[in-house]
Chains A and B, each alone.
Chain A
Amino acid sequence: GENVEQHPSTLSVQEGDSAVIKCTYSDSASNYFPWYKQELGKRPQLIIDIRSNVGEKKDQRIAVTLNKTAKHFSLHITETQPEDSAVYFCAASLQTGANNLFFGTGTRLTVIP
């Protein structure tokens, strides 16, 4: 099956700085890559996703890049704010079959005011 690795496991940044989280995947058949944000005690919320026919997608302060050749994708958050503090999960989904997601192990982001 698919194996998704995520780094770093923890990340602390000063408010206003950028944060980058990286993920790699093993199965070249994967072609859907969502990112979820999970605040303490809450459900995972989709913040951005990318499909394999594009290399980059942006939504205000959040962007995701995908390199299919190298099988890695990254989340970029610019101008971080304290409310960005949460655990972020990357995931990958195979093109065929049902839509079960394979998740990375999560990155705990702390934005220091």
Chain B
Amino acid sequence: KAGVTQTPRYLIKTRGQQVTLSCSPISGHRSVSWYQQTPGQGLQFLFEYFSETQRNKGNFPGRFSGRQFSNSRSEMNVSTLELGDSALYLCASSLLGLALETQYFGPGTRLLVL
């Protein structure tokens, strides 16, 4: 089975712009979670989608949003970019998004905000 894929792999944006990142889960997986990874804050949970519904959300401002499509692919959007949004954005997929399930990570999208 193909692993989790993310596009694009690298992005450079300027402050105030918006960005959309895409994640394709492992075939058959219906849950997609998003994480932000920075040197200062480590890996932090953004939100999780299952069957096109956001089920859980981390402690991030409303500028961070997402959605999931009927084929389980997910996108996350960051509006009005700030310098502090520079990070590696990782998505992870699991079969049903249950608490004891293994999550498989994608390679990430590295976002640089100038």
Chain A residues with CB under 8 Å of chain B are: 1, 31-32, 34, 36, 42-46, 49, 51, 89, 91, 93-106
Interface pairs (16), CB distance under 8 Å: A32-B100, A43-B105, A43-B107, A44-B43, A45-B105, A46-B103, A51-B100, A96-B99, A97-B55, A98-B48, A99-B31, A100-B56, A100-B58, A101-B103, A103-B42, A104-B42
CA of A9 to CA of B94, assembled, Å: 28
CB distance from A113 to the nearest CB of B (A): 27
Interface Cβ pair total, 8 Å cutoff: 72
- CB-contact partner of B101 in A1, A89, A99, A104, under 8 A: A99
Chain B residues with CB under 8 Å of chain A are: 4, 31, 33, 35, 42-45, 48, 50, 55-56, 58-59, 90, 94, 97-108
CB distance from A10 to the nearest CB of B (A): 14
Which chain B residue lies CB-closest to A93? B99
Question: Which residues from chain B contact A36 at a C-beta distance below 8 Å?
Answer: 105
CA of A44 to CA of B107, assembled, Å: 8
